[in-house]
Structure 1
Amino acid sequence: MERSGDLADFYWKRILRLFPALAVVLILTVVLGPFVYENDTPYLLNKAVRTYIPNNLRIYRLQYDIPGIFDNNPHKSAINGSLWTIPFEFTMYVAVSLLFFIKSNRKLVMLALLVAYLLLAKLDVFNFTEIQKWNFKVLDWYLIELGVYFAAGSLLAAVRIADISKQYIGVLLILSLAMFVFSTGHRFFSLAGVTLLPVIIICIGLLPVYGISNVTKHIGDLSYGIYIYGFPVQQTLVYYFGMSHLNLIFTSLMISAMLAYLSWHLIEAPALKLKSLKPIPILFRKVRGLISRS
């Protein structure tokens, strides 16, 4: 958001980061589906096969299963259960885009994020039972529970936590971990979670670790690829080999990492190079110009 020229530019970048790799994994799922398909209905005549890609590209109408695929697995109702977070992720993109209108005033941005964080923290920690009774038509109470961490992370980014010197990052991490461990078993544990966990996670990410800190410079950013390929890889391994937990963890991680490597270099990185095309920003400006002239 801070590096975007306008909202259309911001959304175009988010679309390029999210959808090309997602579209490919959905297509591969449908193409490779017959190898793990067990159903009396012929594969191509199964309506769920035809709706799987468009429903999941819509993100707010996710379709987790195709009847006949992984029906005998422990998680028989999901081909790629990890995708459940994508609607929340995109919703957070929409939320943070609202800061665009005040992004030139850093103090105001920090204030807005602080208010959002405090409000969400109150709902999540002190009104948890009531939230579970709410009936969202599009999203559910996870929007609150996940939103508080997104707001906390955004606030830490706004205060430029990454600019803190390496030695102080280590000190901050140790203090936060100590306080979090101390809170275990106490009534204020939930409050410690929404307060300290974001600091702990980001400090771990910023902590310089030899051999790991610069790994993305050499192999690329595998995070999204591992995320979208991990679940179907695990389901497939369970379907064919019925692996134990430890074997499944390590085998699926290696296979998912290889697929993520290919995804980054063949799909994600090339897609991000299309940022300069800016079809959405151009369309946005043309529509805005027509409105202003009228």
Structure 2
Amino acid sequence: MRRFDRGPTPIGWRPPSLWSPLVTTNHRGNAFDLLRLVAALLVVVGHSWVMTGHEDPLTFLSGTNAGDLGVGVFFLLSGFLVSGSWLADPSLKRFAARRALRIYPAYALVVAALALVLGPLVTRLSVGAYYASGGTWKFLAGNLAIIPVQFTLPGVFEGNPYPNAVDGSLWTIRVEVLCYVGVAVLGLAGLLRRRWALAAVAALLYVVALIVEATGYHGVLLPGALDYQAAVPIAYFGVGMAYREFVGANPPPWWTLALGAVAWAALWFTPAAPVGALVFVAALTFTIAFRAPTALHHPTGGYDLSYGTYLLAFPVQQLLHGLPSVINALLTAVIVLALAALSWRFVEQPALRHKPSRPRLATAQR
């Protein structure tokens, strides 16, 4: 992948997970569940090449990669859904609780399992040395805090083609959380219902992402929290927020697909290709979301497998790094979809039962 060649940053494509993989609601009139699952599997496909020592073929063809596109879809849908969640119940306390219950339980379990179960099983160190290493506890504590994210465990995956990340997908969770903070700030300022304010925010985020990509900037966007990799996902998030306010739960005009394809193609083979894909990905995502047949809306029934798939796929792919890329992706998908079903059934869904609801208006006294 193109981004893996840009220096020492632990992971080179941009997200979760989202998702967004990170929001759940009742989607009776759209195919968001389908799109999130496809996005998670796109990330698996993109990683299957890099983590087996190859380049994603899509990068060669267009300058972007499957992982970038999957992450973009996650953040696009997240911008749409999370901003709508605030507007449906503009309470900072309940908003924060709902977001935390959606993303943190499964995330914390994965982080703990990586540090305390997978790590000692596969490290080249003795179990005693592994647990005595400060790197083990730095990984656990840092990732449980979300910021700063930690990627390495002592002696784990050091001989792999991509040795510097146990679970490279974790970095996008901090970006998602900071997007939530942005929604809360905009909501408290009364800007989430102001169309042109959202349009200005989306345009600004797009321009920032374009500058970052076109110049090859490797620095920070927000000290201690965001680096250059966050620019494109946040731009997708901003476009999702603006789309909800301008278009709502309706598909875009068909001509936007053609316009987006032309805009993307014009930037192929340039550093700005990932940003060029945004208009096309947004048009295609919302076209599918609101035009797909009802039978496709919930491909896994009542199970939302996208978040678990997103969180768990990377370490599984590291374990399977010796397999050919296509086999790596297929076998990983089989394994993580089963694990994601367990995550949904026993972790995510039970946590969501505790989401606070907006209080009903008090009944007027007679």
Q: Distance in 1 between matches of 2:257 and 2:293?
A: 18
Query: Cα distance, 1:159 vs. partner?
Result: 2.8
Equivalent in the alignment of 1:97: 184
1:256 aligns with one of 318, 323, 336: 336
Considering fraction of residues, name the structure with more helix. Answer: 1
Structure 1 gap ranges (5+)? 279-294
Greater RCO between the two (CA within 8 Å, min separation 6)?
Answer: 2
Equivalent in the alignment of 2:144: 57
Tell me the TM-score normalized by structure 1.
0.80
Report Cα offsets for 1:230-252 as digits up to 9, x if no partner.
Answer: 101111222xxx21111111110
**In the alignment, structure 1 residue 32 sits paired with structure 2 residue 95:** no
**In the alignment, structure 1 residue 272 sits paired with structure 2 residue 352:** yes
In structure 2, do the counterparts of structure 1 residues 213 and 116 end up closer, same or farther at CA, with 3 Å as the change threshold?
same
Q: Distance in 1 between matches of 2:357 and 2:119?
A: 34
1:76 aligns with one of 157, 163, 173: 163
In structure 2, do the counterparts of structure 1 residues 73 and 192 end up closer, same or farther at CA, with 3 Å as the change threshold?
closer
Q: Percent identity?
A: 28
Q: Secondary structure at the match of 2:320?
A: helix
Equivalent in the alignment of 1:86: 173
Q: Distance in 1 between matches of 2:191 and 2:198?
A: 14
Read off the aligned partner of 1:182 and give its amino acid letter.
V
Structure 2 gap ranges (5+)? 1-85, 359-366
**Contact 1:219 1:261 survives alignment (8 Å):** no
**Contact 1:55 1:61 survives alignment (8 Å):** yes
CA RMSD in angstroms comes to 2.7
Name which one, 1 or 2, has greater alpha-carbon Rg: 1
Equivalent in the alignment of 1:206: 290
Q: Distance in 1 between matches of 2:289 and 2:178?
A: 24
Report Cα offsets for 1:1-52 as digits up to 9, x if no partner.
Answer: 1233411110111111111001111121122322211126722212222222
In structure 2, do the counterparts of structure 1 residues 155 and 209 end up closer, same or farther at CA, with 3 Å as the change threshold?
same
In structure 2, do the counterparts of structure 1 residues 113 and 184 end up closer, same or farther at CA, with 3 Å as the change threshold?
closer
**Contact 1:64 1:79 survives alignment (8 Å):** yes
Q: Distance in 2 between matches of 1:72 and 1:225?
A: 26
Q: Distance in 2 between matches of 1:79 and 1:148?
A: 27
1:215 aligns with one of 268, 293, 299: 299
Read off the aligned partner of 1:198 and give its amino acid letter.
A
Read off the aligned partner of 1:202 and give its amino acid letter.
F
Q: Distance in 2 between matches of 1:143 and 1:247?
A: 30
Range that drifts further, 250-259 or 181-190? 181-190
Tell me the TM-score normalized by structure 2.
0.65
Equivalent in the alignment of 1:197: 281
